[in-house]
């Protein structure tokens, strides 16, 4: 293997695959092609021929462009550059914004059909302000890497090569202004730049000790570490809070049940549930990061029945299943469970235990459509069906899409 790497071939690309890569065929073999748009004919350079079943390639010239192709929003990622020198992190930046959402819809719908047998006509909703801004200026946080000369930039796609840049157009104006493009950094691997809604923009250099910041969502403030997780799009915390509130079926919600917010972070979604159902709402947020749990305890202090526990979700659920009393099992069966897992999804064990605990409803916040579809299929084995689904374009000019789903028992 390796004899075809670097060879340029002509390909017709027909569809988009999970991960935002277009799909073509060469002599019957699948070729995944970056920087192409379905419907195009391109010249692509083979970058990986190690697999018998598929190869990888990068578009280098467009012979027949799609009507949806646009000049890339980030010159550092333009098709005019050598593929090894293209900045990663904006892999849909050459596609019209409305068509990006259509491609994301296709990926989500295909995953649900293929993995869960569900036909879906869900639309991907754009965020306020993104149309006018052409999907730019939404990131309130960025992570840049440091090269051997101390320069900062993103990594190239599927590479550990750092691409020095002088702009980050997906970042908010405050983040862009605070990014030290011309400085040199030695002895650290990363430079994070963030602009919280309260206070000034700041840098986090490498493994710097965390400090506490505050983020505002509607009328509520949340404390968290500047090194901790927070939704990146400026509108995402408010949009997801509202989407979760809408997704909870109030006919199935019992404020006295053992309601759960799993992978709860600093308590954003638990607070959304509490705000909808009132100060006596009982809800426990479970999060493996101890500092995030400490912040969640403070952020959820308005609710008498709210608690935050530090534990891996799978272990916490395993313990609940094994040790819950009959009364506790009844409260879990009456519960609403909010799930916001990492990109890998909740997975077999977590979904299996939830199926056996049989809560009244599961509200699943997903940042990966394939993981969501897999977990919906796992839930179906325990008698749950998908009866509510929304999708949001929280990551314009990238392939990522967020979804909020509700699962209820048949």
**Residues marked as binding?**
231, 263, 287, 340
Rounded CA separation 181/193 (Å): 11
- Binding residues for S-adenosyl-L-methionine, by number, are 231, 263, 287, 340
Q: Which residues contact 206 (CB under 8 A, 6 or more apart)?
A: 187, 188, 189, 190, 191
Retrieve residue 207's tokens.
Answer: 């493994």
* Contact between residue 306 and residue 285 where contact means Cβ atoms under 8 Å apart: yes
- How many residues are recorded in the chain? 410
- Angle of the 290-299 helix axis to the 268-277 helix axis, nearest 10: 20
Rounded CA separation 155/286 (Å): 33
| Closest by CA position to 58, among listed 78, 33, 84, 90 | 33
Is 367 an annotated catalytic residue?
yes
Q: Which residues contact 18 (CB under 8 A, 6 or more apart)?
A: 107, 111, 369, 370
* Contact between residue 156 and residue 88 where contact means Cβ atoms under 8 Å apart: yes
Catalytic residue among 224, 367, 372, 391: 367
Pairing of strands 141-146, 152-153: antiparallel
Which residues are annotated as catalytic?
367
């Amino acid at each position: 293997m390796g004899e075809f790497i670097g060879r340029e071939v002509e390909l017709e690309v027909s569809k988009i695959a999970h991960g935002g890569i277009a799909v073509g065929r060469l002599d019957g073999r699948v070729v995944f092609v970056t920087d192409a748009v379905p419907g195009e004919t391109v010249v692509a350079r083979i970058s990986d021929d190690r697999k018998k079943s598929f190869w990888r390639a990068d578009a280098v010239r467009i012979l027949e462009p799609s009507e949806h192709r646009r000049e890339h929003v980030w010159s550092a990622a333009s098709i005019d550059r050598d593929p090894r020198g293209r900045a990663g992190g904006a892999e849909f930046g050459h596609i019209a914004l409305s068509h990006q959402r259509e491609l994301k819809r296709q990926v989500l719908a295909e995953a649900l059909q293929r993995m869960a047998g569900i036909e879906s006509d869900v639309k991907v909703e754009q965020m306020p302000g993104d149309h006018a801004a052409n999907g730019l200026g939404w990131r309130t946080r960025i992570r840049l890497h440091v090269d051997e000369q101390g320069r900062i930039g993103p990594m190239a796609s599927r590479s550990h090569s750092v691409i020095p840049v002088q702009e980050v157009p997906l970042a908010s104006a405050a983040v862009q202004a605070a990014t030290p493009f011309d400085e040199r950094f030695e002895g650290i691997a990363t430079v994070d730049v963030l602009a919280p809604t309260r206070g000034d923009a700041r840098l986090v250099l490498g493994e710097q000790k965390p400090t506490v910041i505050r983020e505002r969502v509607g009328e509520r403030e949340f404390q968290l570490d500047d090194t901790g997780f927070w939704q990146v799009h400026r509108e995402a915390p408010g949009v997801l809070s509202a989407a979760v509130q809408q997704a909870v079926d109030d006919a199935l919600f019992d404020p006295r049940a053992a309601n759960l917010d799993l992978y709860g972070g600093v308590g954003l979604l638990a607070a959304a549930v509490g705000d909808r159902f009132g100060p006596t709402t009982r809800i426990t947020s479970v999060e493996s990061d101890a500092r995030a749990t400490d912040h969640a305890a403070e952020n959820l202090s308005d609710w008498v029945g709210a608690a935050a526990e530090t534990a891996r979700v799978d272990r916490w659920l395993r313990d609940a299943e094994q040790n819950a009393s009959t009364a506790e099992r009844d409260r879990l069966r009456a519960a609403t469970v909010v799930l916001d897992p990492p990109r890998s999804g909740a997975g077999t064990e977590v979904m299996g235990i939830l199926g056996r605990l049989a809560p009244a409803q599961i509200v699943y916040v997903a940042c990966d459509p394939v993981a969501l579809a897999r977990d919906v299929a796992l839930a179906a084995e325990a008698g749950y069906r998908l009866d509510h689904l929304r999708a949001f374009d929280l990551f314009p000019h990238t392939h990522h899409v967020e979804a909020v789903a509700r699962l209820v028992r048949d």
